Amino acid sequence: MKIAVAGTGYVGLVTGVCLASKGHEVTCVDVDENKVKIMKNGDSPIYEPGLSELMKEHKNNLVFTTDYEEAYREAEVIFIGVGTPEKQDGSANLSYVFEVAKQIAQTVQRDCVVVIKSTVPIGTNDKIESYIRDKQKNKDVCIYVASNPEFLSQGTAVKDTLCASRIVIGVEEVFPGEVLKKVYEKFDVPKLIVKRRSAEMIKYASNDFLALKISYINEIANLCEIVGANIEEVTEGMGYDARIGHRFLNAGIGYGGSCFPKDTKALNWLANFNDNEIRTIRAAIEVNENQKFKLIKKTKKYYDDFLFLNVAVLGCTFKPGTDDLREAVSLVNVPLLLEDGANVRIWDPVGMENFKKKYPNKIQYCNSIEEAITDADICLILTEWEEIKNFDLRKYEKLMKKPIVLDGRNCYQLEEVKKTNITYDSIGRYTVNPQ
């Protein structure tokens, strides 16, 4: 089928490339000329495992352009995967989605289905359909709007798309549902056809449930520290219960990224706007805000301030497997260290280029974990990269000025750390070799 995709971020590009891999003719549109240039050269502008390879393999089915008119005019299906960032009041900023809707209305010359993949508040699909039908230039064509929320996770986005847990299709009429079934014909995964508002709600309810699960376990971890229980043992015991499961039970210093923070706030905003309260989500948001400061508060046990201290920061992306820094805890913690006079050295396998754009000076960017921790007075682990998890613990002892490691992601087994002289403070577990 002839498909256009608006937006080539984590969702749009992965969607476009995966659809091309199933034989569709896909044109990916972005307003960012630099991104389009990179993609035209056969490269991916974002780091996502397996994406570049798949792009190259299916390049004959893929076109990248800034020319939306060319892309939308004759498309049978147009996916919208542009951003819906948080506004100051917590609601979702829909201006990018409506901009694409306007472009579609002005351009389309054949019947087509516009598919909203961006995460949008309940009722937005209805508004977009009315908006497009009102503004459409060619009144002879019929434009339908369908909701098709995206559930991929950054870091495993390609796998999550090709082997999705489910494809949710929200429609009000039979035709757009049939078109989407055809689009996803070769995806051997469960497909669920529901009403548009339900599809929109499925997305928010799913993301917010996961955020809630994280905040819940973080609160339990905080209590574990106080009462002397070990959160790892606790979650292992909980996870065997199939009703709970092991996933999303890793205690840490809070969630970040482009989805959980904004999607919890957007649902909370929507509830308030409708004179309703969603107290569990509000609690998840509050807990997460506090949790981001958990590690920096722990540092006070070891130093009164950071003036002239060498602080190694391992990991700056919001999670492993991505170069994305949106709402990463590093963006809260590193400025505090700098304000306090620390010499900050950062190591991250893929996130440093983006971090450098925000902090070009003042920070020493390191090529290896060893370089970052050499002569460090303290080390903070903010992202659980495999390279950090597999790092030889004895090197902290050998290379640091003082081997104090504060681990915000529980990367190491306490039994292993006990074999060293490292002072190791993590989340929801007792401190090894306390000072």
Q: Which residues are catalytic?
A: 259
Site for ligand NAD in 21-40 (CB under 6 A): 29-32, 35
Q: Which is nearer to ligand NAD, 82 or 405 (by Cβ)?
A: 82
Asked whether position 16 contacts ligand NAD by CB under 6 A, the answer is no
Candidates 4-12, 48-56, 164-172, 212-220; binding stretch for ligand NAD (CB under 6 A) = 4-12
Of residues 21, 91, 154, 268, which one binds ligand NAD by CB under 6 A? 154
Asked whether position 254 contacts ligand NAD by CB under 6 A, the answer is no
Q: How far is the CB of 366 from ligand NAD (least distance, A)?
A: 27
Candidates 8-16, 208-216, 265-273, 280-288; binding stretch for ligand NAD (CB under 6 A) = 8-16
Q: How far is the CB of 324 from ligand NAD (least distance, A)?
A: 7
Asked whether position 99 contacts ligand NAD by CB under 6 A, the answer is yes
Angle 136-140-141 from CA coordinates, rounded to 5°: 70
Pairing relationship of beta strands 363-365 and 343-347 according to DSSP bridges = parallel
Asked whether position 15 contacts ligand NAD by CB under 6 A, the answer is no
Length of the chain: 435
Site for ligand NAD in 166-225 (CB under 6 A): none
Q: Which is nearer to ligand NAD, 27 or 299 (by Cβ)?
A: 27
User: Residue 224 and residue 196: Cα distance in Å, rounded?
Assistant: 42
User: Residue 51 and residue 60: Cα distance in Å, rounded?
Assistant: 15
Candidates 92-100, 161-169, 286-294, 313-321; binding stretch for ligand NAD (CB under 6 A) = 92-100
- Phi and psi at residue 41, to the nearest 5°: -80, 5
Asked whether position 9 contacts ligand NAD by CB under 6 A, the answer is yes
Q: How far is the CB of 60 from ligand NAD (least distance, A)?
A: 23
Angle 329-335-338 from CA coordinates, rounded to 5°: 135
User: What residue spans of 254-351 are helical by DSSP H?
Assistant: 260-273, 279-291, 294-299, 330-339
Q: Which is nearer to ligand NAD, 102 or 195 (by Cβ)?
A: 102
**What SS3 state is found at 359?**
coil
Token pair 């909980």: residue: 238
Q: Which is nearer to ligand NAD, 21 or 154 (by Cβ)?
A: 154
Asked whether position 100 contacts ligand NAD by CB under 6 A, the answer is yes
> Which tokens go with 134?
């009102």
User: Each residue of 71-87: b (16+ CB within 10 Å) or e?
Assistant: bbbebbbbbbbbbbebe
> Which tokens go with 420?
């060293």
Asked whether position 244 contacts ligand NAD by CB under 6 A, the answer is no
Largest alpha-carbon pair distance within the chain? 76
**What SS3 state is found at 180?**
helix
Of residues 39, 122, 145, 152, which one binds ligand NAD by CB under 6 A? 152
DSSP string for residues in 255-266? --SSSHHHHHHH
Asked whether position 118 contacts ligand NAD by CB under 6 A, the answer is yes
Of residues 52, 96, 303, 370, which one binds ligand NAD by CB under 6 A? 96
Asked whether position 119 contacts ligand NAD by CB under 6 A, the answer is yes
Residue with the shortest CB distance to ligand NAD: 9
User: Residue 186 and residue 358: Cα distance in Å, rounded?
Assistant: 42
Asked whether position 7 contacts ligand NAD by CB under 6 A, the answer is yes
Of residues 12, 121, 320, 321, which one binds ligand NAD by CB under 6 A? 12
Asked whether position 105 contacts ligand NAD by CB under 6 A, the answer is no
Asked whether position 299 contacts ligand NAD by CB under 6 A, the answer is no
Nearest one of 3, 143, 142, 15 to 71, comparing CA atoms? 3
260: amino acid identity, one letter: F
Measured in whole angstroms, the distance separating CA 248 from the mean position of its chain's CA atoms is 14
Site for ligand NAD in 50-89 (CB under 6 A): 81-84
User: Residue 384 and residue 322: Cα distance in Å, rounded?
Assistant: 12
Point out which residues bind ligand NAD (CB under 6 A): 6-12, 29-32, 35, 81-84, 96, 99-100, 118-119, 150, 152, 154, 258-259
